[in-house]
Amino acid sequence: MATWLITGCSTGLGRALAQAVLAHGHNAVVTARNVTTLQDIAAAYPDTALALPLDVTDRAQINSVVQQARSRFGGVDVLVNNAGYGYRAAVEEADDADIRRLFDTNVFGAVDMIKAVLPDMRANRAGSILNISSIGARISPAGSGYYSATKAALEGLSGSLRKELQPLGINVTVIEPGGFRTDFAGRSLTQSATAIQDYAETAGKRRKEHDTVHGTQQGDPAKAAAAILKIAESPNPPSLLVLGQDAFDAFAAVARAERTDLDQWRGLSLSTGFEG
């Protein structure tokens, strides 16, 4: 039995994962900004679930959650950084306060969670950190530049963190989902107040009022949760797991295009060294 700490459990993937973890007999600290959304989960698993309020931009709350996890279950074995939200705008359209709020949640919230659990994981020479990213970090759609940037930042940090922690017996895996049938494209999606007409045919097509994807995504959150459980229990987990046919195909297409560019411009790339 392991103890999981999962952020962003009110809906979607976080909620599905919390339920799967508990159903498999693990302990789970399930968190959300509005803790009342978690009461049914806590009631169903009174001995193994601990539901707590958590805004990942509040360091005092983070420290309190980790301390309560330690007091109730002895510590955190698996951290899942799932809390976050989407934001759509052309790069030029975005409001500065919106951008900073997005990075505070999607990047620095995850960083603060990681730093809060690592002292115990290092002392135990064991643990797993699963950072929920997005295929958006790979494909960078028009209109999702800032969201994609937060996930790319999380992935870059995760890569370095994995190298730092592997010798200490701690795993780090990035999870890149595609489209899953959650509230991500609904309640959890925000956008700029400003819309510039020149971007109507690029970023404008991804604004919420033009979105036709919500509620029709092919990804099943319960199956994603099962896949994440398998990663956490694997003796040799990967550095990256892509979830969903759409994400897998998009990842492969980007990799092929990048390889084509790399080969096409090889001569120029290698022309920059000193001669002699």
- Joined together, the tokens standing for residue 64 give 């309190």
Catalytic residue among 45, 87, 128, 133: 133
Q: Is 237 helix (H, G, I), strand (E, B) or coil?
A: coil
C-alpha span between 226 and 21 (Å, rounded): 9
Cα dihedral across residues 258, 174, 250, 91: positive or negative: negative
Could you tell me if 42 and 64 are in contact, meaning their C-beta atoms sit under 8 angstroms apart?
no
Residue 240 CB burial class (10 angstroms; 0-12, 13-18, ≥19):
middle
In this structure, how many other beta carbons lie within 10 angstroms of the beta carbon of residue 189? 18
Q: Is 29 helix (H, G, I), strand (E, B) or coil?
A: strand
Catalytic residue among 151, 158, 192, 199: 151
Q: Is 151 a catalytic residue?
A: yes
Write the CB contacts of 7 (distance below 8 Å, at least 6 apart in sequence): 14, 31, 54, 56, 80, 81, 82, 83, 109, 113
Catalytic residue among 144, 147, 158, 192: 147
Q: Is 192 a catalytic residue?
A: no
Residues annotated as catalytic (active site), given as ranges = 133, 147, 151
